[in-house]
Amino acid sequence: MIHERPSESGHCWRFVGSAWLVVLSVSGLFPGNGNAITPTQAERLPRLIEAARREGEIDFAGPSSLTPKGAQALIAALNKKNGLALKLNYVPSTNYPAVVSRVITEIQAGQAPTFDAVYLTEFNMAKLHSRGFLDPFDWRGIFNYVTRDSIHFDDGGILIATIFTLPVYNTNLIKSQDLPKQWEDLVSPRWKKKLVVAKYVQHWVSLSEVWGEEKSVEFLKRLRAQEPLYALYPEIQTRLASGEYALAASQVSPFVEVARQRGMPIDYVDGVTPVPVLFDMMGVPKRSRHPNAARLFVAFSLTPEGQAVWADFTGRSSLFIPGTPAAKFGRGKKLLMRNMKALVENPERFEKLENKFADALGIK
């Protein structure tokens, strides 16, 4: 599926979301105007801001590359825009599944989750969604800049950044004419024992939509036979920049962007297609202690100001928002989008594929 637009689905949850708004109206958080007319966008935003002001803070699990400084830059920009003095308590996530597991455990124990807002990949967000642990919200009813492209998981997840995945190389060690021309070239004997391979399979799952399952498994087995060094994304950056390895089978765009900012001799292997695009999302878990402040924070991340901070500190931005680095990067490229409809409808299928591919690659 090339560049398929993620679609909306899950009427049931939308109903729950609407019902939930009704409950809020009754509770006084979004007081109705007394004549049963839905409040307008202009009326609801000030109420949300006021509710956020009363909550005062947000506990947020975000990517570790945001850093405390980036987190403070985000909240400062949000406060400035809305005339607030919210405090952002940021906890860097070093492992998204561990964050998901924690939120699930806390909610199942009948407790408020530690985090009011979470930043996760779409696969991990799907695990919260499939258990009904994401709080849906009428984003477009309040924030007119939030487009349909950015709303997923039945209004429970907001797409904050689109992550491009490509092979990368050390520009000091490999000449451009010697670079792989297509994904399949990575399994050439030339790169035996000279490759770094990421310990993730989400992008291989995307490619399997084009290649088919059988070819994907075969490819990953051959990649494993290359006797690569397995590493997480940050480590790939270190191994490549130090010159220990010259080529990585895949790297995600945020790390390449940061590498460029720092002057590291790392660049994409250009021309390899299609380019799998993964979705990084934010959501507000159920039972959150500061839901209104969290929603305001999530929505702010989609504003041009919010996107600029995310791009500056983490190299992440969304191609669905005009003018962002991601939008510029994606222009003219053959992109392979995540099939969100399929993920929402059948997350188990993706989980099975993940496990199968991890097994074939030897990282399970």
In this chain, which of 77, 84, 91, 179 binds another protein, going by CB under 8 A?
Answer: 91
Helices (H), 195-252: 202-211, 213-224, 233-241
| Residue 343 CB, nearest approach to another protein (Å) | 15
In this chain, which of 19, 22, 23, 98 binds another protein, going by CB under 8 A?
Answer: 98
Residue 344 carries which side chain, given as an amino acid letter? Answer: V
Which parts of 58-77 interact with another protein (CB under 8 A)?
59-60, 63-69
Q: Which residue's CB is nearer to another protein, number 193 or number 331?
A: 193
| Residue 358 CB, nearest approach to another protein (Å) | 4
208, 216 Cβ separation under 8 angstroms:
yes
- Site for another protein contains 259 (CB under 8 A): yes
Q: Which tokens hold the place of 311?
A: 């791009």
Q: What angle do CA 307, 336, 147 make, to 5 degrees?
A: 40
Contacts of range 108-112, beta carbons closer than 8 Å, 24 or more positions apart:
111/287, 112/287, 112/288, 112/289
Per-residue mark of binding to another protein, 303-342 (x: CB under 8 A): ----------------------------------------
DSSP symbol at 227:
-
Residue 208 CB partners (closer than 8 Å, separation 6+) = 215, 216, 353, 357
- Site for another protein contains 56 (CB under 8 A): no
From the list 358, 329, 310, the residue with the least C-alpha distance to 71 is 310
| Residue 265 CB, nearest approach to another protein (Å) | 9
Which parts of 228-247 interact with another protein (CB under 8 A)?
229-235, 237-238, 241-245
Using CB under 8 A as the criterion, which residues of the chain lie in contact with another protein when the complex forms? 59-60, 63-69, 89-92, 94-95, 97-98, 100-101, 104-106, 108-109, 111, 114, 127, 199-201, 229-235, 237-238, 241-245, 255, 258-259, 262-264, 351, 354-355, 358, 362-364
